[in-house]
Structure 1
Amino acid sequence: MREDFQVYIDRYTARMKVARSEDRPAIRKEFADWYYGLSEAEREEIKPFWKAIKDRARQTIAEIKDALNELQQLQDVRIVVEGAEYDLHEWITISEYSRIHNLKVSRVQNWISRGVVPRNKVLAIPQLNNVKLIKNEIYTKV
């Protein structure tokens, strides 16, 4: 590629990187005017540059997708108890439930023993010293 093309394109990419979002359309238009003012042969000369840009963009997109997948896996916290799988975003400890809903722990434990909180909404985990988890929902006596 001609050196003057490379300089212009480098200057364009540098300007785009630091430009405010409201300035970018004008910079793009200026570049488009320059680009479409080139002859077909000159545009062909620039094609390898576009290929490199596209390859870098594809690589970056792939890296972002990988990072998002990793993040998703970190957020998918599940526990398996007696063959059933539970999402730990929905299940919290009794003390955490009490704190979130501004209740005393003894009141929540009382609700559990009286059946205000249905049995299927309480999970005792024997592997964790019988810690009890409660599904994070609002419970009222019917």
Structure 2
Amino acid sequence: MIKERIATKENVADFLKKANAQLEQMQNALHINGEAIMLGEFVTIKRYCQLFNIEDTQVVSNWIKRGIIPAENIREIEELNGIKLIKAVAYK
């Protein structure tokens, strides 16, 4: 009986640990239209410029228009006034 209780407590503790990890991961994502956008991977144009030492946000906007930044690396969030998030990797 004691062994069963210990095993049950371990199972509950393991379950809670996994649940907490999933909750933490969900808090670091923006869920829009069934897609989870990881906030560590995607940034605003302004933040992208800060990360990669680009002086003018217009440069990045032009990259988007010219296709230098691939469409799969751009997320436009209509619910947030059409803000564009781009994947935080070097493009040029």
> Shift of the alpha carbon at 1:85?
1.2
- Larger helix proportion, structure 1 or 2? 1
Q: How many residue pairs end up in the alignment? A: 88
TM-score by length of 1: 0.48
Flag the structure with more relative contact order, 1 or 2, with Cα contacts below 8 A and sequence separation at least 6.
2
- DSSP-derived class of the 2:85 partner: strand
Could you list the runs of 5+ residues in structure 2 that have no partner in the other structure? none
Question: 1:92 aligns to what SS in structure 2?
Answer: strand
Query: How far apart are the structure 2 equivalents of 1:129 and 1:67?
Result: 37
Correspondence for 1:122 among 51, 74, 79: 74
- The runs of 5 or more residues in structure 1 that have no matched partner are 1-47
Paired with 2:14 and 2:20, the residues of 1 have a C-alpha distance of: 10
Match of 1:112 in 2: 64
2:35 to 69, 77, 85: 85
RMSD: 2.6
Q: Percent identity?
A: 27
Alpha-carbon shift at residue 134 of structure 1 (Å): 0.6
User: Could you say which structure has the larger radius of gyration?
Assistant: 1
Greater strand fraction, Structure 1 or Structure 2:
2
Q: TM-score, normalised by structure 2?
A: 0.67
- Correspondence 1:1-142 to 2 at 5 A: 51=2, 55-56=5-6, 58-76=8-26, 77-81=29-33, 85-88=35-38, 89-104=40-55, 105-140=57-92
